[in-house]
Structures are given as C-alpha cells and as structure tokens.
Chains A and B, each alone.
Chain A
C-alpha cells in the first residue's frame, strides 16, 4: 500500500482551518451589523450635510437609539435563550399607563398620593410579576413563547385601553406636573445626562447657539439607562456563569438540562428582564414628557426583535451578542430619525429599510450559523 507522507502525519484537528484574524472576525455575530452601521452613519452624515451629528442632531438621534437599544438588548438575551417576547410594546403602554394613572389619580387601594418613586416601584412590581407569569406559563405549558406572548400583546394593550377609559375617560393623560424639576428620582429618567460631554464640546469652541451661548446641555437620561443596561447585559452574557446558561438554554435545551443548567429559571428570568426593559423605556418617556397614551410602545416588540436579528442574534437561539445589538440600535435609530435631517425623503422609507435589512440579516445569520456548525 502506498501512503503519502502528508496523509500519514495528519490528524483530524488539522482539518479545521482556523484562519487569520480576518477569518476569526468573520465568525463574530456582530460583524454584519457593524458594516451596515458604518454605511448608514456615513450615508446619513453626508445626506444631512452634517446636521444629523451636530450637537442637537446627536442628542435627538441618541434619544431614539437609546430607546431602541434598551428593549432590543433584552429581546436579544431572550432570543439567545431560544424564546420570543411579543408583549414588549404592550408592556411599555401598560407601564406608562400605570405610572401616569397613579401620579394623577393616586395609588391604588387608597394608599394615598403617589410620588414618582412609588408610582415607578409599584409599576415595576406589576410588570416584573407579569414577566414572571409569562415565563412560567411558557416553561410549564411547553407552548411556544410566540403564542403565549402574542396573547399578552393583546391582553395588556386591551387592559391599558380599558383602564384609561374607565378611570380617566380618555385614552391619554397630559398636564401632569413636571416632576423632573422637583424629584431627583424623576430626573433620573426624564432629565439629562452626560452634561460634561456638551460642556466640553462648548469649551472646545463648538456647541454654540445663535446667541453665542452654549447650545445643548446634555443627552436625554435614557442614554445613560441604555449604556448601563447594555454594559450589564454584555457582562452577564459574555463573562458570567448566567451567560453560559443563557447560551446553553437556547442552543439545545435538553442537553443544557442534562448538564444541570436551570433552563426554566433562565427563561423566566429573561422574560422578567424584557418586562424590566419595557418599564425603563416607559419611565423615561413618562418622566420626560409628563404624558402617556394608550398606544405608546405600539409595534416596539417587532422593532426590538428586528434589531436583535440585525445585530446577529439567531432566530433559533444559542448565538448572538450585545455588541451587535448596539450596532443594530444605532443603525435603526439613525434611519428612523433620518427624515428630520434629510427633508427630501419620505419617512416611510424607514420601514422599507427595516424590511430590506432584516431580510439581508437573516440570510447572513443563517450563513454564519452554517459556517460555525457545518464545518466538518
């Protein structure tokens, strides 16, 4: 028998071409999202003649980006664990309703006047409770989370509308006092952050309004919430034991269970996390504008899922990254807001863009999944 020298010395492990840094990068979940983001940032900067990134433009864009980022981060973690939450948008509406109603009409059960803190805390207890309930129904029944959370999408939106009409005789609340002026707690959600950034900009000779004074004084507080939530989610997912459990639960639930991963607790906790993110989203909105209406958060669950997918999260679970969601949120936020900086375009192009990018992302993700698992 003849055997070539090369074949004799080769082993199974030699067959995996580990490639260079570039190949390695191409296997990261967020690489596609990063490329799209760079393109979008450049395109919008040019098309808007720079106004999208002047002091006010940046503030307004970051406000939308942060909104998307907060809920998409939570949606991403849940999707990595193999589940969906279609109730995020309705949860936002419910939480906003709950907080403003308490502020206007007082705490339930005759507990007296509400403060921003008590209104928020009581609302959070309710939304976390609903998140727990959704998670428990999903893990106990074995039903698809798609259906269970679809039910809660309708249920919570309905409850929100009914509560507004019955108690408030109107589907919106306005004319609440500007709490962020008097309450540090309301200011935490509705006020401004990173003032030093704009101060420094002014100090360096930019950020000047027509009167020659400092123009913009800070980002919306939600930018800080987004950064905190994204950092925490990134750390938990990539660096902790809980993160390993999240990946394991979404990749192959039965093998995770067989190895002692508490897959039910992981999923219930993540449904509570999406409820938490929706509540933060609502609190930022309520305490910034001091208003709420029954349609708040409409369709936000779908945008959150779209952003997670564009960020490289697999629809089938087990794979994804918080950094990808950051890139995805920046992309979506900029495009959603583009109409304000590029008056020539129709605002509905945003949806055209979302549709196209989503489809592209799904194909890219599927390709990525095959490259990761299909190797041999």
Chain B
C-alpha cells in the first residue's frame, strides 16, 4: 500500500476549554485532490493551521511521508514541503509578477542582501512555471494588481510548487471569485494533480466544485470526522448529507415546509 504524504493520527486541538478538533484522522496521497468539507466552524481552518505549522496540536501526531514531525513554525512546515495558499494569497499588488514569485527567495549574484538580482533568469522561470499550470503571462514584469483573481491564485500556487511544496493546501481558493475564474482555478488544480507528485488539500464550501475535482473526501462537523472516502465509495446523495453536517435532507425539507405552512 502507498504511504500517505500526510497522515494525522487522533489530532486534537483545544483553545482553552474549547475543543476545536477532537481526534482527526486524515490521509492525503500524492497525485490526489483531497477535499476537506464541512460547515462554518467545523474546524477546517484549524486543521490546516496545524498542518502548516501556525498552531501546534494539543494531542496526536502528524506524519509526513510516514515520519513523525512536529512543526514549531510555518517555516518548519514549508521546509517539510507543505505549501499553504491562504485566501489573501500573500501577494503584493504593486510589484511585478516576477518580483512576487521570488519575493523573499530572490536569485542573486553577490553578497546577501546587496547581491544583484538575476532578473532575466527569474522572468524566464516565472513565465515557464506559470505556463506549466496553464497561464501564459506574456509580460512577467506586469504588476500583480493587473491580474484577475484566478490568475493570482495560479501565481500563488505556481510559486508554492516551484519552491518545493509536495503538499498544496488551498483554503477556499474559489470562494472570492466569479464563475469563470472559479473554473480557471479548478483547471489549475487539475493540472497540478496531473503531475502526479503533488497532493492537494482543497478546502471548500462548494459541493459541486469538490465533486468536479476531488479524488477523496473528508467531512468535518463540530471538530470531528463524520465521514470520509474515495470518490467511488461515496454516492452523490451522501456528500450533500455530510456537507450539511450529517443533517438529513428530508428532515430539513420537512422543517422548511412546516415553517411555510405556519
């Protein structure tokens, strides 16, 4: 059997008296999109903050490639190959695509930090890496502010991959975008998936999106896993049921009908 790139074992996170996560088991495999679904407050963001080193688990263990790890900072996680693309994307709108791509990790010749930037080389790499996942930035010197939301997502993803991410965590990457750009991001995800060596954790509210791209699903509700499985194992009806935190659709319909009848 394959080793998961990331595996968590009975992960618990408490904030004081409040238990945000209560024993999460998760397996994420390379070359797969793993959808992490659940209602607001279910604990999705908390879980990825544990995986990306922002918070430390109260109990439980994270494994990367089968080895136990403990991240003390986002830097540790990033060194271990976990690339997190947050909603704000950590991009600077006034700076060029290339300057953003290499922000903090510039290529230079000479003594740090006054070494001369190898701009032509960085332009070329940026252009090539963006093409690989589907966007042709004809002018890498254009400001990121001129790019659409979907293009910015792609830039942030390309950057994470280029700098060694083998697990890509995308926190609601489609939520702030228009229809067409949402599709662009989903396509980008599929191109990354097609490489085969990168695992994607895809956090979303959107059942349709998750069904379009995900190979595997984990449903969270109130800090616990209430269901998981591969695409084949889960029937369509199950997903909607689990998304709603385990509430039966029929119950909901009845409740709504009751209110209407009043």
* Interface, chain A (partner B; CB < 8 A): 11-13, 16, 18, 236, 239-245, 247-248, 251-252, 254-256, 258-261, 314, 318-319, 369, 372-376
10 contacts between A and B (CB under 8 A): A16-B142, A239-B116, A240-B116, A240-B117, A241-B108, A248-B95, A254-B90, A318-B94, A372-B143, A375-B147
Q: Which of B113, B143, B148 contacts A241 (CB 8 A)?
A: B113
B16 part of interface (Cβ distance < 8 Å): no
Looking at the assembled complex, report how far the CB atom of A15 sits from the nearest CB atom of chain B, in whole angstroms.
Answer: 8
Which residues of B are found within 8 Å of A239, using beta-carbon distances?
Answer: 116-117, 119
CA distance A375 to B147 in the complex (A): 8
B68 part of interface (Cβ distance < 8 Å): no
Beta-carbon contacts under 8 Å, B115-148 to A: 115-117, 119, 135-139, 142-143, 145-148
Which residues of B are found within 8 Å of A13, using beta-carbon distances?
Answer: 135-138, 151
Q: Which of A261, A314, A318, A372 contacts B103 (CB 8 A)?
A: A261
Q: Which of B90, B116, B119, B138 contacts A258 (CB 8 A)?
A: B90
Additional 9 contacts, C-beta under 8 A, given A11-B136, A318-B94: A12-B148, A239-B119, A240-B113, A258-B74, A258-B90, A314-B94, A318-B95, A372-B143, A375-B146
Which residues of A are found within 8 Å of B113, using beta-carbon distances?
Answer: 240-242, 245
B76 part of interface (Cβ distance < 8 Å): no
Looking at the assembled complex, report how far the CB atom of B109 sits from the nearest CB atom of chain A, in whole angstroms.
Answer: 10
> In the complex, are the beta carbons of A244 and B99 less than 8 A apart?
yes
Which residues of B are found within 8 Å of A248, using beta-carbon distances?
Answer: 92, 95, 99, 103-104
> In the complex, are the beta carbons of A12 and B117 less than 8 A apart?
no
> In the complex, are the beta carbons of B143 and A373 less than 8 A apart?
yes
Q: Which of A11, A241, A372 contacts B106 (CB 8 A)?
A: A241
Main secondary structure of the interface of B (DSSP, over half): loop
> In the complex, are the beta carbons of A12 and B142 less than 8 A apart?
no
Looking at the assembled complex, report how far the CB atom of A202 sits from the nearest CB atom of chain B, in whole angstroms.
Answer: 39
Looking at the assembled complex, report how far the CB atom of A375 sits from the nearest CB atom of chain B, in whole angstroms.
Answer: 4
Looking at the assembled complex, report how far the CB atom of B193 sits from the nearest CB atom of chain A, in whole angstroms.
Answer: 21
CA distance A318 to B91 in the complex (A): 12
Main secondary structure of the interface of A (DSSP, over half): helix
CA distance A244 to B116 in the complex (A): 11
Known interface pairs A12-B148, A372-B146, A376-B148; A240-B114 also in contact (CB < 8 Å): yes
Which residues of A are found within 8 Å of B137, using beta-carbon distances?
Answer: 13
> In the complex, are the beta carbons of B106 and A247 less than 8 A apart?
no
> In the complex, are the beta carbons of B143 and A259 less than 8 A apart?
no
> In the complex, are the beta carbons of A375 and B104 less than 8 A apart?
no
Looking at the assembled complex, report how far the CB atom of B55 sits from the nearest CB atom of chain A, in whole angstroms.
Answer: 16
B2 part of interface (Cβ distance < 8 Å): no
Which residues of A are found within 8 Å of B115, using beta-carbon distances?
Answer: 240-241
Q: Which of B110, B117, B146 contacts A376 (CB 8 A)?
A: B146
Looking at the assembled complex, report how far the CB atom of A159 sits from the nearest CB atom of chain B, in whole angstroms.
Answer: 33
Which residues of A are found within 8 Å of B135, using beta-carbon distances?
Answer: 12-13
CA distance A232 to B107 in the complex (A): 20
CA distance A13 to B127 in the complex (A): 13
CA distance A13 to B137 in the complex (A): 7
CA distance A318 to B115 in the complex (A): 20
CA distance A373 to B152 in the complex (A): 13
Looking at the assembled complex, report how far the CB atom of A318 sits from the nearest CB atom of chain B, in whole angstroms.
Answer: 4
Which residues of B are found within 8 Å of A376, using beta-carbon distances?
Answer: 146-148
Looking at the assembled complex, report how far the CB atom of A231 sits from the nearest CB atom of chain B, in whole angstroms.
Answer: 13
Q: Which of B104, B112, B114, B136 contacts A261 (CB 8 A)?
A: B104
> In the complex, are the beta carbons of B117 and A374 less than 8 A apart?
no
Known interface pairs A18-B138, A240-B108, A251-B94; A375-B145 also in contact (CB < 8 Å): yes
Which residues of A are found within 8 Å of B112, using beta-carbon distances?
Answer: 241
Q: Which of A16, A241, A261, A372 contacts B117 (CB 8 A)?
A: A241
B65 part of interface (Cβ distance < 8 Å): no
> In the complex, are the beta carbons of A236 and B114 less than 8 A apart?
yes
Looking at the assembled complex, report how far the CB atom of B237 sits from the nearest CB atom of chain A, in whole angstroms.
Answer: 31
> In the complex, are the beta carbons of A259 and B103 less than 8 A apart?
yes
> In the complex, are the beta carbons of B138 and A252 less than 8 A apart?
no
Which residues of A are found within 8 Å of B74, using beta-carbon distances?
Answer: 258
Nearest to B93 among chain A residues (CB) is A373
- Which 9 A-B residue pairings sit nearest by Cβ, starting from the closest? A373-B145, A375-B146, A260-B104, A251-B92, A259-B104, A255-B90, A242-B113, A318-B94, A258-B90
CA distance A160 to B108 in the complex (A): 43
Known interface pairs A18-B138, A245-B113, A248-B95; A372-B145 also in contact (CB < 8 Å): yes
CA distance A318 to B110 in the complex (A): 24
